[in-house]
Structure 1
């Protein structure tokens, strides 16, 4: 949507699922944005991998060919180069279309289990070829771009952070009556949710019982059982599960402080969204987070340190009004806005097209 503010954009996405019985095509979009999604059945097991890839590839190539014939696009923009970057390589050879890559994937480190070093030679060769042949490379953080350079290939990159829907995420004066810490994530182990729960439990015992913690995202029974054992489930700690995007915005607007305790991140959307809502952010100084959070808008802590997180909760609770007064909300709303991000993407497109013969 941000890119479509400055250029006509046709989004094409082909997705396979074992639950999909028949081929399904969905169209949507408006105001310069066309969205086309194709859902394909997926064969099960190892023997289905090659036929699945061939079918996925055939549908992508057929649709790209139709788009080229009907709309004469000037370039292709690939989000996450593996594996749709292979289609961009093919289109570059067949139609002489330049392509831009934006990388979001957090595999270029030694921290995540499924990192680049665990991938096969064939995978790394093709991923390197895609990135090498890209006419421009965008990273959502300096950390991620540097990681690509350190683990895959040397490639100049432009940093463009993730966009925030500033029509949804904006500050409001109305807050919960009770001081509220908020966490939003998919609750996977790398988010280190258990440490948030432990730190907040200690906060309640050592500082104040007049506060609460709301967690939004994939519900995990182990976390609820842990909190139930402390007899504070739905009293001081609340799990709301997965909720609508607009409801996430309302929770951010109503809360006081946002907490993210991840072991690794690139450029988490939730931090940009929290900052646009005027929330001070407590976050771990890992990955690209320090590019978003500093002492003007939050508190940075070391990862895997429950005592340090508890201290940060106490400091945010004690100095909330001072933190809120110096919160540069307006600059965040400019930095992450669709207009700003869209104009930065458009500048990359223009630069690529100027270099074409």
Structure 2
């Protein structure tokens, strides 16, 4: 029997979210072609889905998001042991910490590594400490990287601008997602109009700004907030303070996102920085008009005035105006939703992402075999 090439895929967190969902889709799409193994820092959604797909999972408890020199050294040691036992032909690390551990372990074991940051940690509007500390770290790790997959042109351009890695090592592969039968009816008259945001309750997502924005809307609406995270209680307290408990609803982590989108009229994403959010693709797939901040890869997904409305990050006035414009105009919502669905079909189907990823893998693997 011919041995299939082995790919070791790594990510830090197992929670529901954009990068974890990307990894699940990637593994399911690659499992017939390659022999795969997943390294991850915890149990959770990703692990459950990958095990269901019949792919082995290796939990590395020391692989955590927060910087901790001792735990990080343990993670590198554990990951290196896994590399020696699994003997991958290629390693693909996702997000900063798993990407760091993957590249260091890959260099120690002479295995080529591909890295997908899913949004650089030094992006505009990121914490100042990361804008200062992350570029030199990424520059060093870039020396150990065979290829970096940027999920957006913005991510590519920022890497080149900051000089963190040679442009010859960068490539852009936009995120893609599989289709789903659930469709929204954004042009239907809501009673009231339902707005939805799906994101982790963390600083980049600017939930507080969104809550303050809708507090100033003087027309009926219902806002669904889907997700969990360290700032969830703070957001709930703000809703109580502003007297919005009857209009803003916290749904926690949900497995029925396509159904929730299909029941909504507008998607909103008020984030301060992004790579290329998968949730925007899910919104377009459902046929929803989208109001999003003009950051990162958002502008590569949303066509302003055609599939949704882009607003400056941090602007309550602009965000409120955009939401008001869509709430009062069902025909505009319908037109933008249809345009978004067509854009998803043309540019963001999962098959496109998989074809480009496999082509990249094969170019590296063929180069290795010819040495």
TM-score by length of 1: 0.79
Give the Cα separation in 1 of the matches to 2:28 and 2:233. Answer: 41
Aligned equivalents of 1:63 and 1:221: distance in 2?
Answer: 38
Q: Is the contact made by 1:27 and 1:36 (CA closer than 8 Å) also made in structure 2?
A: no
| Distance in 2, Cα, partners of 1:101 & 1:41 | 20
CA distance in 1, matches of 2:35, 2:342: 28
1:321 to 320, 331, 336: 331
Distance 2:244 2:72 in 1: 49
3-state SS of 1:107 partner: coil
Do the aligned residues in 1 keep the contact of 2:184 with 2:261 (CA within 8 Å)? no
Computed over aligned residues only, the root mean square deviation of the Cα atoms, in angstroms, reads 3.1
Query: RCO (CA 8 Å, sep 6+): is it higher in 1 or 2?
Result: 1
How many residues are paired up?
326
Contact in 2 for aligned 1:3/1:343 (Cα 8 Å): no
Q: Distance in 2 between matches of 1:109 and 1:28?
A: 30
Deviation at 1:292, TM superposition (A): 0.9
Asked whether the 8 Å contact 1:128–1:153 carries over to 2, the reply is: yes
Structure 2, unmatched stretches of 5+, are 1-24
Say if 2:261 is the partner of 1:252. yes
Alignment equivalent of 2:308, drawn from 294, 298, 307: 298
1:194 aligns with 2:208: yes
Contact 1:108 1:148 in 2 (8 A): no
Write out the 4+ residue segments of structure 1 that deviate beyond 6 Å after TM superposition: none
Matches of 1:5 and 1:27 in 2, distance apart? Answer: 13
1:79 matched to 2:90? The reply is no
Q: Could you tell me how far apart the structure 2 residues matched to 1:142 and 1:49 are? A: 32
Structure 1 residue 334, shift from structure 2 partner: 5.2
Alignment of 1:1-357 (within 5 A): 1-2=25-26, 4-6=28-30, 7-15=33-41, 29=51, 34-40=55-61, 49-50=69-70, 52-68=71-87, 73-80=88-95, 81-91=99-109, 93=110, 97-113=111-127, 116-119=130-133, 124-125=136-137, 127-151=138-162, 152-156=164-168, 157-167=170-180, 170-173=182-185, 177-203=191-217, 205=218, 208-209=219-220, 211-218=221-228, 220-233=232-245, 235-240=246-251, 242-245=252-255, 247-294=256-303, 295-325=305-335, 326-333=338-345, 335-356=347-368, 357=370
Gap runs ≥5 in structure 1: 18-24
TM-score, reference length from structure 2 = 0.77
Between structure 1 and structure 2, the one with the greater Rg is 1
